[in-house]
Amino acid sequence: MRVEFKVNGKRHSVEIEAGELLVETLRRLGYKSVKHACDTASCGACSVQLDGLPVLSCRTFTAAVDGHEITTVEGFSKEGALSVVQSALLEEGAVQCGFCIPGLVVTAEALLNENPEPTEEEIKTYLNGNLCRCTGYESQTRAIKKAAEIRRGTLHRNANAQGDGI
């Protein structure tokens, strides 16, 4: 069957197999940022936004996104520049191996769109489905907190705290 949908604003019309999952279609189309990691919808590495809300592409049928808009991490770095969330993750040392990062970015972007002023507890709850084995999450939470502040204009870009302390 043929489905049409947009990825990061670009229109795609693709022939798919019955039962094909969105992660497969996106990777086939070259959106390699969408990761296979767990096979059981439990890690969040395949997260994409479907009409602005985070979904697991490994449990979303491609047929179901016909006529909808998908955003992957590639959609957040406009003309090569990093988004506030991406910059904050990089600056806070929250990107170690980076395999979970695309899924984390699309989830965190959705969080900050939904709730521009999240408490630390709200960040932790929203990101609980994005597993990371490298960081222990602390740097990621710091980064998202910082990104929220920058987006609200309450923290300047270069207010970059030193990393070697508590």
Is position 29 an interface residue for other proteins (rule: CB under 8 A)?
no
Q: 69 or 96, CB closer to other proteins?
A: 96
Give the shortest CB-102-to-other proteins separation in angstroms. Answer: 4
Is position 39 an interface residue for other proteins (rule: CB under 8 A)?
yes
Is position 55 an interface residue for other proteins (rule: CB under 8 A)?
no
Is position 69 an interface residue for other proteins (rule: CB under 8 A)?
no
Nearest to 43 by CA among 18, 23, 69: 23
Residue from the set 133, 154, 157, 159 that interacts with other proteins by CB under 8 A: 133
Residue from the set 29, 63, 64, 131 that interacts with other proteins by CB under 8 A: 131
Bridge partners for 15 per DSSP: 2
Is position 95 an interface residue for other proteins (rule: CB under 8 A)?
yes
Is position 54 an interface residue for other proteins (rule: CB under 8 A)?
no
Whole-angstrom Cα distance, residue 70 to residue 102?
14
Stretch that binds other proteins, among 49-57, 62-70, 133-141, 147-155 (CB under 8 A): 133-141
Residue 72 and residue 107 in contact, taking contact as beta carbons nearer than 8 Å? no
Report the alpha-carbon angle 28-32-37, nearest 5.
105
Contacts of 76 (CB under 8 A, 6+ apart): 82, 83, 85, 86, 105, 106, 109
Q: 65 or 88, CB closer to other proteins?
A: 88
Beta strands in the chain (DSSP E): 2-7, 10-15, 47-50, 53-56, 69-71
